[in-house]
Structure 1
Amino acid sequence: MNRKGCPDEYPISLHLNGCEIAVFQLTKYDLKDWVYGYLFSEGFIQEANDIKAVNIDENMGAIHVTLHSHFDEDQFFSKKKHYTAGCGRGVTFFSMTDVKGFAEVSSGQKYDLSYLLKKRSEFAGKSSLYLETGGMHGACIVEENGAITIREDIGRHNAVDKIIGYALRKGLPPEQLILLTTGRVSYEMLSKAAKFGFPVIGSRTAATKQAVQLAKFLNIEVIGYLRGKMAVIYTSSGRVKNDITQEIDFERTVEGGINKQEKTS
């Protein structure tokens, strides 16, 4: 496949009620979705209507957001910053202790593993920026009717923020959605998904030990290595049924980490 261009990234500063929060490396697509998703994921807003206005100035590399309510910058910046791992470096203000205070995710939705693999393949085939450059991350939501929506960015956590922002702005019910991502599921990625309320997260690569432990604690199903007819189901909340005749790796979490691997046909 001939690539036509390189992935792009730009330093963009985020300002909230006139206060600069941080500077982020972002790909300049779907920035409004990113604003809503990031501010929700980090606890700046609780719903889309908390935002009064968003002004994106690409020439100056700045996004200015006005909230309906007062923003106490002194109180917020007393929190310790945590820098996210991987490309498109970002900032999160949530610690593992904070995330463990999130509500347990509740959903009666159940899925066949073959369905997740099919949607992961559809996601890959429609990731236009990745197909163009070969160097982008993507995040995708699958709705109850099977419709998918994709957002892409140089950073995997940015892509997840963008798709959360899209779902938040559209008022989509999280308990009926699947989140798929191209990136590693780390604790900060899991915390974003948990904050919104996704019951099932699937990735084409691995999940970290801390993310898996947190997923078990918050009752979230995490499936890694979704490729072809491969999969690793890290948790066992019962939302994903293995209907593949080929052997699939199942890993179950325990208090101390990952339990021994079992083979299930």
Structure 2
Amino acid sequence: MTASDDANAEPIEVRRVWKVHDGQGREREAESALEEPLALHINENRVAILMRLPGMEKELAAGFCVSEGLVKDFDDIFTIHHCGQGLPAPGEEETDSSPESRNLVEIRTRPKALEVDPQMEVVRLIRVGCGAANADTAELPLPQISDGPIVAPEVLLGLDKIMRAGQLLHQRVGGVHGAALFNIAGETVVICEDLGRHNAVDKAVGYCLMRDIPLQDKILLCSGRLSYEMVTKAIRLRIPLLASMSAPTALALQLGERFNLTMVGYLRGRRMTIYTHPERISFEA
């Protein structure tokens, strides 16, 4: 299932441009991915403003709240209300909506479920995911991931091709990241795209959270680098195996080692590099 399965989902703007080749300019039409702010309110308090690709707003909000530790568990969330119907989630039909009304999601949680000061306003317009050079990983309130499952290397070596094939918007306009979740047999659960790699991950995990799909036995594949923030998301959700077509940072590797997360980088074609906890990947014939 991909986030572009619905033919009516078009988070694209078309404009006239000048394309220049060998000093000669010609006017043409060009497509660009839409970028809009999404305000996230929890119990009537603004928590974040996310610059995102329109679509899957509820999934993005759910994934963000749980993966960022704003709530401990998805069960802490009572309701997720998108103020104005946005672009549909995978497999859902689109209804008439105004683009101006789709930029707010309101969440209600059970009493005392919110893990941040309700008076604190966190505005996130750009999240680059660099991490902190001297962070103490031992003091982080993160869960220890359970051992297992065991995955065959052949399963991993085919996942980048599957995700690229599902990144329909990237193929069309470029400029977007992808995130995908697979089971240990390599079967696709969901493929999502967004302007930022954090948002793409939040949409993918939010898709599963809202549909009661377990994450503790899944493989998460990202198109961008594995930074501190990306790894903490996977650990909070107890995803055992995190892979990327790019590289991990040193601090991210420290976190992965500390909390029993298997991390794979440079997953491209027939090659990959296993950085932490290789015991989950079996090379037995």
TM-score tier by shorter-chain length is: 0.7 to 0.9
Q: Which amino acid aligns with 1:221?
A: T
| Structure 1 residue 78 displacement after superposition | 6.0
Structure 1 unpaired stretches of 5+: 90-94, 245-265
Provide the C-alpha distance between the structure 1 equivalents of 2:216 and 2:67, rounded to a whole number of angstroms. 16
Provide the C-alpha distance between the structure 2 equivalents of 1:234 and 1:116, rounded to a whole number of angstroms. 14
CA 1:238 to 1:125, structure 2 compared with 1: closer, same or farther past 3 Å? Answer: same
Deviation readout 1:93-147 (Å, 9 max, x if unpaired):
xx76587331211132112222112122111111112112121111110024532
Residue 162 of structure 1 corresponds to which residue in structure 2? 203
Residue 212 of structure 1 corresponds to which residue in structure 2? 253
Determine if the alignment matches structure 1 residue 31 to structure 2 residue 81: no
* Contact in 2 for aligned 1:100/1:217 (Cα 8 Å): no
Q: Which amino acid aligns with 2:110?
A: H
Runs of 4 or more above 4 Å deviation: 70-74, 76-83, 95-99
Q: Which has more helix, going by share of residues?
A: 1
Q: Which amino acid aligns with 2:225?
A: R
Residue 102 of structure 1 corresponds to which residue in structure 2? 142
Q: Which amino acid aligns with 1:224?
A: G
* Contact in 2 for aligned 1:223/1:233 (Cα 8 Å): yes
SS in 1 for 2:181: strand
Identity of aligned residues (%): 30
Residue 153 of structure 1 corresponds to which residue in structure 2? 194
Structure 2 unpaired stretches of 5+: 1-28, 84-98
SS in 2 for 1:66: strand
CA 1:225 to 1:37, structure 2 compared with 1: closer, same or farther past 3 Å? Answer: same
Determine if the alignment matches structure 1 residue 18 to structure 2 residue 60: no
| 1:185-224 equivalences in 2 (<5 Å) | 185-224=226-265
Provide the C-alpha distance between the structure 1 equivalents of 2:237 and 2:255, rounded to a whole number of angstroms. 15
| 1:35-54 equivalences in 2 (<5 Å) | 35-54=61-80
Q: What CA RMSD, in Å, does the superposition of the two structures yield over aligned residues? A: 2.9
CA 1:99 to 1:43, structure 2 compared with 1: closer, same or farther past 3 Å? Answer: farther
Provide the C-alpha distance between the structure 2 equivalents of 1:123 and 1:99, rounded to a whole number of angstroms. 35
Paired residue total: 235
Q: Which amino acid aligns with 1:66?
A: R
**Could you state the TM-score of these two structures normalised by the residue count of structure 2?**
0.73
SS in 1 for 2:216: helix
* Contact in 1 for aligned 2:170/2:176 (Cα 8 Å): yes
